[in-house]
Amino acid sequence: MRMRAVVITCAGGPEVLEAREVEDHPALGEGEVLLEVAAAGVNRADTVQRMGRYPPPAGASPYPGLECSGTILALGPNVPSRWAVGDKVCALLSGGGYADKVVAPAGQLLPIPEGVSLTHAAGLPEVACTVWSTVFMTSHLSPGESFLIHGGSSGIGTFAIQIAKHLGIKVFVTAGSEEKLAACKALGADVCINYRTEDFVERIKQETNGKGITSHLIIFVLLH
């Protein structure tokens, strides 16, 4: 059987991406599910992979796409009973989201929140998993505490601002332009600092009467 996928024909710009017929998905392994892809997110790693500077991990799909949304088509052996054929989900992937179908570990599926479309849900897994696992599961940031986000206008940054404010946390952000800071402010950030024109350490000391912040999240960006 065949399916369609977006293939990186050579290293370069967006023009090197082509939709082609390719071999169908591999057989489902232990704890894996098959998804019919509705939409896929575009992440920095996808663009760097397209430029030939970020090879996929060993054993991963050669096609880009690190997150997607869709419908469960089939279940492999020993998939938890919470998942069923026909469920609408989004998924974190090692690659392969830019295709008609993709195989994903059941442990990397997320239910789609009520009121969120399949298209919008495709952009949730990378940011949601990163922010929730690092900031709340690992660092245990709690209501009433404070939080510094470097790179506040990034995908991870904008998600972190919103969930932190929802939980009653004071949010400080840094970004490199007034336009980016305005976007952070619109999402609820309390203190927005342009790191190109201001010493964010001194500003935070002023804003907190020298107490500093509880936690911080640094957004690492893959460089050209």
Q: The domain 127-218: what is its CATH number?
A: 3.40.50.720
Q: Which residue in 28, 33, 36, 29 sits closest to 4, CA to CA? A: 36
Over residues 187-216, the mean pLDDT reads: 91
pLDDT tens across 5-38, in order?
A: 999 999 999 999 999 999 998 889 999 999 999 9
| Homologous superfamily (CATH) for 2-122 | Medium-chain alcohol dehydrogenases, catalytic domain (3.90.180.10)
Write down the pTM of the prediction: 0.82
User: What secondary structure letter does DSSP report for 106?
Assistant: G
26: nearest Cα among 87, 103, 133: 103
pLDDT at site 167: 95
Report the residue count for the chain: 224
Distance CA 136, CA 167 (A): 11
Asked if residue 41 lies in contact with residue 122, where contact means CB atoms within 8 angstroms, the answer is yes
Mean pLDDT of the chain: 93
Residue pair 63/101 in contact (Cβ under 8 Å)? The answer is no
The rounded percent of the chain whose pLDDT value lies above 70 is 96
pLDDT tens by residue, 126-181: 998 889 998 999 888 999 999 999 999 998 999 999 999 999 999 999 999 999 99
Contact criterion met (CB below 8 Å) for 75 and 86:
no
Domain with CATH 3.40.50.720 in the chain: 127-218
Q: What is the pLDDT of residues 196-208, one digit of tens each?
A: 999 999 999 999 9
Q: Which helix (H) or strand (E) is 216 found in, with range?
A: strand 215-218
Q: Residue 87 has what pLDDT?
A: 98
